[in-house]
Structure 1
Amino acid sequence: MKEEIKAQIIKQLEKDIPEISQIKQKIKLDIPKEDRFGDLSINVAFLLAKPLKKKPIEIAEQIKSILESFPYFSKVEVAGGGFINLFLSKEYYRDVLKQILKEKDRYGASPEKNKGRINVEFVSANPTGPLHLGHGRGAVVGNVQSNLYEYIGYKVEREFYINDAGRQIKKLGESVYARFRQIDQPDYPFPEDGYHGDYIKEIAQHLYKYEREKILSFVDEKQAVDFCSEFAKEMLLEKIKEDLKDFGVEFDIWFSEKKLYTTGKVEEAIQFLKEKGMIYEKEGAVWVKTTLYGDDKDRVIIKSDGSYTYFAGDIAYHYDKFKRGYDFIVNVWGADHHGYFPRLKAAVMAFGVPENWIRVMFIQLVKLFRKGQEVKMSKRSGSFVTLKELIEEVGKDAVIYFFLTKDSNTHLNFDIDLALKKSSENPVYYVQYAHARICSVFREAKERFSFDPEQDFEADISLLKEDQERVLMKHLAVIPDLIREAGEKQQPHKLTQITYDLASDFHYYYNHFKFLIKDDENLMRARLYLLKGIREALRTLFKLMGITPVERM
């Protein structure tokens, strides 16, 4: 809204004040905190004071006389020594409602993916066990942020980095193999640092039933462990994919860490850095000069024994992303990676990318509470509550919404009892109930008046004269701006507040005014038209979050 109106204002003023071209990039439209100061406030008079050599108040009066004839403003007033307050007209709100009903659940979204191509990598859980709550929060944040980028106009590729190389996969194989052997030999030793939980036993039992002879035929126990590692990894990865799909999260790319090493991508990345003068040898190891780009010390990428460090693999992975030609990339990481980001960013900048080419969103821990007590254990995992268990208990919508209620870089306490409540205390119930109430009004209109609001119809919104109606129309008008701001600032949690505020404004309207008016069909149509706009705006927000637009509650 603000960008569109600003462009129209500049176009209107250019005829009489050509100097505006000098300062148009600095013009700001703000939404005043109090309604009495209008719907928008503009600073253009202050910016023109220097080029025009006049006082801002004089310029503001001149601008006021020009803008008063603008059809989108019902009133223009000068305040505060030169600020100009703008009151939007019913004609403008009529056009907003028409736009909503035309674009439906894509209200305000960019019609084209022309802002660039980006990569968002998230979840990237080790395929060594079920997804836990931290993975779930990362899945929601990454997926919703991707939706926001698409809304703004980016082409987004969602990526999952499969950590299928290294010690954790070997440990998985050792754990499964030990449980496999314990079926016949209960005293067979289990690794001290092995993975516990029922899921390990389930994999072992599956192998015992279908692959027993093959595993026992291996002469070398290492071969048996490697076989169990690969089998368990694939089985768990398929389960991860299934759980994420059920959660409404799907990926365009599944990138294997293992393939970095088997396809020579690590060597390729190191050679690239070597040609850039970023590599040197010291104490038998190979180092990369990350201090050239702000790191506190240089980093080892090949140890003195010739093995690669984990950092070498990460450099190679991001070099691969660099070669794919993204305009920028976003990584959604656990909070324990805070200290790791500066060194990776330093290495990535050596590729020749801008400083903000790699961006990171951090995910803090989630704690579950039931009856005021923290819930810590899961029977199946043996150490944590799984995402699947939480979804089965409170539902997908509640999990998504609650995970979005706070900035991802702050700790989150998830109240299971609140998530299960069927009342306005539960925020996800509250916002879904707003949508369901509108659907109920529409059904009643069809039954009582043989008027179907689901069909296209015209209405005279000049009949909407109540203060709350203006509040709602103004709220609808600014929603695309609020969504875009949330996307650009990487603040997907703001969607819950935007949705809650709209639902709250609607519930107040519903509780204080009638919509089905027997003696005034024109007013009824106008109010139903407004309700239809509110419903489509809610659906837009629900779609971005992945929440179900419930029609009956």
Structure 2
Amino acid sequence: MNLFADIRTRVVACLDQLVAEGTLPAGLSTDAVAVEPPRDAAHGDMATNAAMVLAKPAKMNPRAIADALAAKLLADPMITVAEVAGPGFLNMRLDAGVWQAVVKTALTDPTYGQSTLGQNAKILVEYVSANPTGPLHVGHTRGAVFGDALARLLDYAGYNVTKEYYINDGGAQVDVLARSVYNRYLEAHDLSVEWPEGTYPGDYLIEVGEALKAKVGDKYVEKDEDHWLADIREFATEAMMDLIRTDLESLGVVMDSFFSEKSLYGTGLIEKAIAELDEKGLIYRGTLEPPKGKLPEDWEPREQTLFRSTAHGDDVDRPVQKSDGAWTYFAPDIAYHYDKVQRGYDQLIDVFGADHGGYVKRMKAAVSALSDGKVPLDVKLTQLVKLYKNGEPFKMSKRAGTFVTLADVVDLVGPDVTRFHMLTRKNDATLDFDFDKVLEQSKDNPVFYVNYAYARVNSAMKKAGVFTAVDDATLAGVDLSGLTHDAELGVIKKLAEWPRLVEIAAKGHEPHKIAFYLYDLASDFHALYNRGNDETALRFVQESDSDATQAKIALIRAVAIVISHGLGILGVTPAEEMR
């Protein structure tokens, strides 16, 4: 049930009647007709822009259209008021019974809020995809939470979602990892080592070095690098991916698949992807202009193999093969996305860190070219996280040596608080994460405020359950006609927005909107609870009136159900009680 979609259907039906009667001309498109909450709740329950968007194509005054539409809508028993405002906006008020039915639907329909928007389209969400050279840091944490919540949101909205991690194990950084593990391996044999600049001296590799010793003994001691680099590279990568999987699981993130960059080399996949672009006339030999701004001292024009990415919206063409024949970093990324397209996905989403902003246009160009514009790619950038503790910047992790890890964050505040707070800002806005404030029990802490609403519902239900039945089956059948107070209807109206909000968030790939909505719903609930302190008729438990109690408990139980659905999208477990 999507009440806003239902009312929109009725608005469009009335417009069709006006066309049939000759009041409106035939052939008008109603695609831009919307029904949404008014900007000011005092103006009504819902508003439609129908007259405004149809005036120009109909060559009519918008108020004339609005007046005719209002007359038709008033014949609908669901609509009690239809008033024209300003140049032609139409505000509507609905019968109280319509709102009361929302509560019943939330109680009886376990899919309330879910959508068929996605039509089971296949969508691949790639996120985290960190280099397998160490534990995930707090920046990866934000990307992991955002990507996972987005995948859950899209699944909830009717898409067939696959969650994938791209293992960057094909570059030189994995050789550095292998050399760093070799150092820890030597230390496990009580040998002294040097740590050249650029290696990974974090404590997390101590266990890996000891594990390597347990596996091979002294096989690699005092051996040249060519004897052990390939083997240790593979061993270290597997060890790091085990660590990364463990860290992700501690956050509630479980991938459907892992794709290795290394699998693209020596298998013909890169060559095949570039050949595909070549067949489309998008690969050529050429020389790029020098980079804008200060010219690097070592820059010199070199003829390279280039991808004509400007033909698909990029700013400049991009090199895919160096003058010496080696592939650029971009070439395997093209091949990876070519593989995604070949797997038959209808849409692709990449979640990158803020430092990958320069990659957005080139990746979109590559996917557009490889799919002939048929497979859209949306690239979401997650901005930096600034950490604080006791009001001071929090930077150091002994385990990693240079940064705060995902494990550090989860250990300090838990996975639920971590996930919710990471979604309290839009992904492209910098996020402040204060370890004290995210645990604070106040209205200013969204994590606490939403969970407190859920726990308050449970408390009220326990209190009411002493003298009347408050199970869901009973509540679904109670008389809700007594829920007429503006404060009660305000909560119900917020519940009615849930299905619409899900679709808006899914269309925009914006899971943070779920967190915002939950905070607003919790605020309306707490306001109703607090009004009961002064107005006894609004208290959830009316000990002298079982019927009224059941109706009020039905309302707040619906609130708890929607909160549970929303937290499920965020990957957060509702708090049954607050301590």
Normalised by the size of structure 2, how large is the TM-score? 0.90
Q: CA deviation at 1:111?
A: 5.3
Aligned counterpart, 1:536: 561
Aligned counterpart, 1:109: 114
Aligned counterpart, 1:456: 474
Amino acid at match of 2:469: F
Aligned counterpart, 2:254: 250
Q: After alignment, is 428-437 or 177-186 more displaced?
A: 177-186
Aligned residues: CA RMSD: 2.1
Provide the rounded CA distance (Å) in 2 between the counterparts of 1:262 and 1:354. Answer: 28
What CA deviation, in whole Å up to 9, does each residue of 1:125-156 have, x standing for no partner? 11110011111100111111112212222111
6 and 221 in structure 1: CA distance in 2 versus 1, 3 angstrom threshold: same
* 1:317-332 alignment, distance < 5 Å: 317-332=336-351
Amino acid at match of 1:209: A
309 and 423 in structure 1: CA distance in 2 versus 1, 3 angstrom threshold: same
Provide the rounded CA distance (Å) in 1 between the counterparts of 2:117 and 2:57. Answer: 38
Check if 1:85 corresponds to 2:91.
yes
Aligned counterpart, 2:289: none
Q: CA deviation at 1:212?
A: 1.7
Provide the rounded CA distance (Å) in 1 between the counterparts of 2:199 and 2:420. Answer: 35
Amino acid at match of 1:168: Q
Aligned counterpart, 2:541: 516
50 and 198 in structure 1: CA distance in 2 versus 1, 3 angstrom threshold: closer
Aligned counterpart, 1:226: 230
Decide whether the 8 Å contact of 1:32 with 1:40 is kept in 2. Answer: yes
Q: CA deviation at 1:322?
A: 1.1
Decide whether the 8 Å contact of 1:278 with 1:289 is kept in 2. Answer: yes
Check if 1:31 corresponds to 2:37.
yes
Decide whether the 8 Å contact of 1:127 with 1:162 is kept in 2. Answer: yes
Counterpart among 100, 103, 108 of residue 106 in structure 2: 100
Provide the rounded CA distance (Å) in 1 between the counterparts of 2:164 and 2:36. Answer: 37
86 and 504 in structure 1: CA distance in 2 versus 1, 3 angstrom threshold: same
Provide the rounded CA distance (Å) in 2 between the counterparts of 1:284 and 1:54. Answer: 61
Counterpart among 142, 162, 181 of residue 176 in structure 1: 181
Aligned counterpart, 1:10: 12
Q: CA deviation at 1:267?
A: 1.0
Decide whether the 8 Å contact of 1:160 with 1:254 is kept in 2. Answer: yes
* 1:430-449 alignment, distance < 5 Å: 430-447=449-466, 449=467
Provide the rounded CA distance (Å) in 1 between the counterparts of 2:507 and 2:229. Answer: 47
Q: CA deviation at 1:246?
A: 2.2
Aligned counterpart, 2:536: none
Check if 1:418 corresponds to 2:418.
no
> Percent identity at matched positions?
40
Decide whether the 8 Å contact of 1:14 with 1:21 is kept in 2. Answer: no
Counterpart among 502, 511, 517 of residue 521 in structure 2: 502
Check if 1:400 corresponds to 2:400.
no
Aligned counterpart, 1:384: 403
481 and 184 in structure 1: CA distance in 2 versus 1, 3 angstrom threshold: same
Aligned counterpart, 1:73: 79
Q: CA deviation at 1:351?
A: 1.6
Amino acid at match of 1:196: P
Aligned counterpart, 2:192: 187
Q: CA deviation at 1:445?
A: 1.4
Check if 1:296 corresponds to 2:300.
no
268 and 356 in structure 1: CA distance in 2 versus 1, 3 angstrom threshold: closer
82 and 424 in structure 1: CA distance in 2 versus 1, 3 angstrom threshold: closer
528 and 281 in structure 1: CA distance in 2 versus 1, 3 angstrom threshold: same
Provide the rounded CA distance (Å) in 1 between the counterparts of 2:108 and 2:82. Answer: 29
Decide whether the 8 Å contact of 1:127 with 1:237 is kept in 2. Answer: yes
Q: After alignment, is 43-52 or 451-460 more displaced?
A: 43-52
In structure 2, stretches of 5+ residues that fail to align are 287-301, 533-538
Amino acid at match of 2:121: G
Decide whether the 8 Å contact of 1:71 with 1:91 is kept in 2. Answer: no
* 1:26-65 alignment, distance < 5 Å: 26-47=32-53, 49=55, 55-65=61-71
Decide whether the 8 Å contact of 1:178 with 1:191 is kept in 2. Answer: no
What CA deviation, in whole Å up to 9, does each residue of 1:1-41 have, x standing for no partner? 32221112222443344247614223222321222210111
Secondary structure (helix, strand or coil) at the match of 2:31 reads: helix
Provide the rounded CA distance (Å) in 1 between the counterparts of 2:188 and 2:50. Answer: 78
Decide whether the 8 Å contact of 2:387 with 2:432 is kept in 1. Answer: yes
Decide whether the 8 Å contact of 2:470 with 2:550 is kept in 1. Answer: no
Amino acid at match of 1:199: Y
Q: Give the number of equivalent residue pairs.
A: 550
Amino acid at match of 1:164: D
Q: After alignment, is 422-431 or 243-252 more displaced?
A: 422-431
242 and 552 in structure 1: CA distance in 2 versus 1, 3 angstrom threshold: same
Aligned counterpart, 1:154: 159
Secondary structure (helix, strand or coil) at the match of 1:262 reads: coil
Normalised by the size of structure 1, how large is the TM-score? 0.94
Secondary structure (helix, strand or coil) at the match of 1:120 reads: strand
185 and 530 in structure 1: CA distance in 2 versus 1, 3 angstrom threshold: closer
In structure 1, stretches of 5+ residues that fail to align are none
Q: CA deviation at 1:47?
A: 4.8
231 and 85 in structure 1: CA distance in 2 versus 1, 3 angstrom threshold: same
Aligned counterpart, 1:363: 382
Amino acid at match of 1:451: A
